[in-house]
Structures are given as structure tokens and as C-alpha cells.
Amino acid sequence: MFKKVREFYLLFNKVNFNSKITLMWLILFPLLMAILYNMKFLSEKPSESVFLMYFGGYIALIIILTAFNVCTNIIQMREQGFLKRFFFITGSKLPIIIGLFLSFFTIAILSVSTFTIFSSILFLGSTHLTLKFWLLGVVLLLVSFIPITFLCLFLLILPIKQESLITFANIIMFLLFMTSFNNSLSIDVPAYISLINPVNVVLNLENYLMSVLFQNDFNYINMYFTILLLGVYLTIGVYSYKSFKITAINSRS
């Protein structure tokens, strides 16, 4: 089992690290977007709390984007027939999924590290705060990446034609981010939908971690509820893993 996981991990690493678009999208895009939208802080350094308020959300963006990419890659492999071939080689979906997950987790670590280190050095100029911001990103990634990835597996069992599934997944991701910023965009979103939005769950967890690490008062919802939601995400993921098929079903209705 371990040998198979290792082989798939190395295979997917080779594919992902040879894909310039994947690396730019997951590693460079969040950093460049943060710099472009916060150029004002280059001339006037922000305070610690202001920096966290403006830049903390980008870590959640990295986690959500990378988790969605795990799912969309499984969809592409299934559509192209590779998932079925790999399954016949291994006799199980598990080493394939774990290998792919670990490959994207590696990219997520690189992306979070790149973003937290470069943004904090550029805008704060403090080694101590850089280390704490990096620690915040890594801890948030370790806690939330598995549940969010598991939740994304639900897309694999939806009764949607294969060729439309990736487009649908991207629409879902866009809507999740739109509704998570409903206050600034004046979008009327019911409170219960906002609470279960995985983007808001990650942001809420991040606010809690920022309050602990930086000893500032950031608003966050009861952590027991957040932990419960993460458990629900894991349960959905386990069910989805057991239920999704290894072959593309183009006749889904």
C-alpha cells in the first residue's frame, strides 16, 4: 500500500510540477493578487491587525483552490480513462486518491509558505511576525485541507454529465466565494447558508487561530460548531469516496 501511494505521489508530482499553469494558479496567483490589491501598503506599512485583516483571507483562498483542484483532477482522470487504468493496476482507488491528495498538499504547503513569507516580509518587514504568519498558514492548512478536500469529493457522485462536471465545480467554487463576501457585495444570503459555506468555515477557523497566535480580538463563531461542520465534511467525503465510479458516465441525467 505504502509503495503504491509513493509511486502515485511521485507520478502526480511530476505531472503537477511540469504544469506551469497549475503552479502559477495555485502558487503565484494568490500572491500577485494580494500585492496588486494592496499596493497602498507598500508606501505606508500596515499595523499587525490591519495586515491580518487584509491578507489572512488569501490563505483560505489557497486552501479552497487547491482542494478543488484535487477533485477536478480526479474528474479529468476519470474522463480520460486514466482512473480506470490505474484502478486495474492497483486494484483499489485508495492509493490513487491518497497519492493525488499528497501531491496537491505539497503544492499547498509551497503556496502557503510562499505567500505568507513574501507578503509579510514585503508589507511588514518583521522576521518575528513573518514566522507567526507562516505558522498560522501551516496550522490552518493542516487542520482544514483534509475536510475541505473530502467535501469536494461530493462533486464526483452528482448526476451531471461528465463534460459539464468541471464547469459546474468551478461555478460552485465561484458562488461559495461570492456568498462568503456577501457583506461587501450586498448579497442577501440566509444566515444558515453562510454558516455552512466551507469558505466561511475556513475563514472562521482562521480568525480563531489568529486570535490565539497574535492575541488580537478577531470575530469567530463557536468553535464547537466549526469542528462539527468539519466532521460533517469528512463524513460526506467518506461516503462520496465509496460511492463514486471509476468510469465516466456520459449519459448521466
Least confident piece of the model among 81-85, 128-132, 183-187, 188-192: 183-187
Q: Specify the higher pLDDT residue, 172 or 239.
A: 239
The pTM score is 0.88
pLDDT at position 24 over 50: yes
At 86-113, the pLDDT tens digits run 999 999 999 999 999 999 999 999 999 9
pLDDT of residue 49: 85
Average pLDDT over the chain, rounded to whole?
Answer: 85
Tell me: the pLDDT tens digits for 40-62?
888 888 888 889 888 888 999 89
Label each residue of the chain as H, E or C. CHHHHHHHHHHHHHHHHCCHHHHHHHHHHHHHHHHHHCCHHHHCCCCHHHHHHHHHHHHHHHHHHHHHHHHHHHHHHHHHCHHHHHHHHHCCCHHHHHHHHHHHHHHHHHHHHHHHHHHHHHHCCCHHHHHHHHHHHHHHHHHHHHHHHHHHHHHHHCCCCHHHHHHHHHHHHHHHHHHHCHHHHCCCCCHHHHHHCHHHHHHHHHHHHHHHHHCCCCCCCCHHHHHHHHHHHHHHHHHHHHHCCCCCCCCCC
How much is the pLDDT for 252? 43
pLDDT of residue 56: 86
